[in-house]
Structure 1
Amino acid sequence: MMGNGDSRPGAWHGKAGTAGEIAYQQLKRQILTCELEPSTELRAGELAADTGFGRTPIREALTRLVHEGLVEVRPRQGYRVQEITAVGVREAHELRLLLEPAAVELAIERATDAELEALHDLAHASYDHGDRETYERFVLENRQFHVRLAAYGNRRLASVLERLMEDLQRLYFRSLSFQDTAGEQMHEHHELYDAVIGRDVPTARSICVEQIQASHERVIETLLNDLTGPALRQAHAVLHTQLTPHLRRPHTTSGHW
C-alpha cells in the first residue's frame, strides 16, 4: 500500500484514531471481505446500534465509502453496498491490462536492487483453502506486491492500480473459496518476481498480461456462480458480445490475479 490510509488523488482522509476513521475502516473491511454482501441495505441508525459508533461517525464513514464507489446512496431509503457487475469487472481488468505492464516495466528500469528484493516475502505469500483469515491476509499482501512494485516506477500510476485492485477485491476474496488455486497463484507470482529481479522486461510484461487475463476469467467465473435469473443472462450477454478481444484466451482455471 502507498503510505498510510487512502493515498489516491481526491481521496477523503479522516484523522487517525477518530470515531469516524475507525468506523470507516471497519465498514470498509466488512465490505471488501464480503461480510457485508453486495446489495446489502445499510441504514445509519442500525449500523450505529450494531457497531457502537454514533450516527455522525457512521454517516462520515458512509460518505467516504460512497466517494470510493463501494456504497451507493438510495434516496429516502438510506444506503446500499454497491453491486458487482460483469461490465464493471471487464472494464477494471481492461484498464489494469493497459496500465500494469507499463508500470512493471518502469519499475524494472527505475527501482534499485534493494527495493525489488524487498518484495520477496509479498511475492511468496499464500493462503489455506477454506481458511477465511488467510484469505484476507493473502488478498492484502497480493495487492501490496502489485502496488509497491508499480510505485517504484510511477506513484501516480500505482495509485490508480491500487484503486482498481481494491474495486475488484470482493470478487478476488470470493474466488478463493470458489476454487483452490493457491499453488498456481504462488507459481505465477514467483515467475513475475524472478523476471523483475532479473530485469527481464519482455518476460515480466508477458507474465503480467497473462496474470491479468487469468484474473479476469477467475472473477467472472465466480461472479457467474453467484448470479441467477436476469442478472445471469445479462452477465453472459456482456461476456459474449462486449469483452475486449485482447482479454480473450482459452479457458483455464489456473493463473494469478
Structure 2
Amino acid sequence: MAEQAILPRQRDGQAPLSLRDRAYREIKRRINCLEFRPGDYLNEARISRTLRIGRTPVHQALDRLMLEGLVQVIPRKGVVVQPISLDQVLHILEMRLLNEPHCVGLAVDRAIPQEIERMRAILGAATPLIKSRNREELMNLDRAFHHQISQASRNPVLSDVITMLHERSLRFWFISLNDDLQLRRIHQEHRDVLDAIERRDRKAAIEAMREHIESSRQHIARAI
C-alpha cells in the first residue's frame, strides 16, 4: 500500500503555506519524531512522491534544514539526517541555562493576564496527552509553553534565540521522553514555573526554570 502523506495545513485566517514550506514542515516533523532517523539517507525523489510535492520545493526544504543543522550533504552520497551528538545536546542546554532563567524573570515582570491564561491552557491540554503517551503532541505543547514565556518577556531578540534553541532540540526531547514518569515530571516542572509566574515571584520562577533545564539535561544525557 502506498504511503499516505499527511501534510501540515495552515490555521484558519492564515495565508496558505507555500509548497516549499509544506515540504519543510513535514520533513522536519518526520526528523524530529524519528520517522527519519539519525544517519538515514533522504532520497529527494522518494520524498517528493510521498508528499506529492515537486522535487524543487523538496530540494529547497532540505537546503533550509541543512542550514538548521538537521541534515547534511555528503559528497557523492546524498543527503543524510544529522547524527545525534551528545556534545551538541549539552551545548544547546548550556545556552538554554544561560537564557531561559533570565527570560522567565522578565516574563514574571511583564506577562499580562491573557498570556498567563494561555500558558495555563497549554498545560491543561497536556494532561490527557500524558495519559495516552502522545509524545508528538506533548513535544509541540512543550515548545508552545516555552515560546509563550519567551513572548511574555517582551524581548524579541531573546525570544528568537530561545525559539532557535528549542527547534534544534526537539529530536532530543522526543528520544528522551519515553516513559510515563518523566512525562509527568516535566509536566509538574512546567506547573512550578507557571505557578511562580502567576505569583509574580521572580526568584522562584528563575529557580524553577533552572531546575527544569537541569532535569532535562540529566535525563537526555542518560538516554543518548
Please classify the TM superposition score into its range, dividing by the shorter chain length: 0.7 to 0.9
> Could you tell me how far apart the structure 1 residues matched to 2:180 and 2:72 are?
30
In 2, distance between residues paired with 1:23 and 1:194? 38
Whole-angstrom distance in 2 between the partners of 1:107 and 1:128: 26
Aligned amino acid, residue 182 of structure 1: L
Q: Which residue of 1 aligns with 2:26?
A: 26
Per the alignment, residue 106 of structure 1 pairs with: 106
Counterpart residue identity of residue 220, structure 1: A
The alpha carbon displacement at 1:95 in A equals 0.4
TM-score relative to the length of structure 1: 0.75
List gaps (5 residues or longer) in structure 2.
Answer: 1-9
C-alpha distance in 1 between matches for 2:103 and 2:160: 11
Aligned length: 208
Partner of 1:169: 170
Shift of 1:130: 6.7
In the alignment, which residue of structure 2 is the partner of 1:211?
212
Tell me the TM-score normalised to structure 2 length.
0.86
**Structure 2 CA distance for partners of 1:114 and 1:135, relative to 1, 3 Å:** same
Structure 1 residue 18 displacement after superposition: 2.5
Per-residue deviation at 1:179? 5.7
Say if 2:115 and 2:148, in contact at 8 Å, map to a contact too.
no
Name the aligned partner's letter for residue 175 of structure 2. Answer: R
Structure number having the greater helix percentage? 2
How far off its partner does 1:19 sit?
2.0
The residue identity in structure 1 corresponding to 2:42 is L
Letter paired with 1:128: I
Residues 1:156 and 2:161 are matched in the alignment: no
How many angstroms apart in 2 are the aligned matches of 1:130 and 1:41? 31
1:100-148 Cα deviation digits (max 9, x unpaired): 00000111112223322321111332433674xx211111111111111
Task: State the alpha-carbon separation in 2 of the partners of residues 178 and 110 from structure 1.
Answer: 35
Q: Percent identity?
A: 31
Deviations 1:1-35 (A, max 9, x none): xxxx9xxxxxxxxx843322211111111011111
74-83 or 174-183, which moves further after superposition? Answer: 174-183
Q: State the distance in 2 between where 1:17 and 1:146 align.
A: 24
Residue 37 of structure 1 aligns to a residue in which SS?
coil
Is 1:59 equivalent to 2:59 in the alignment?
Answer: yes
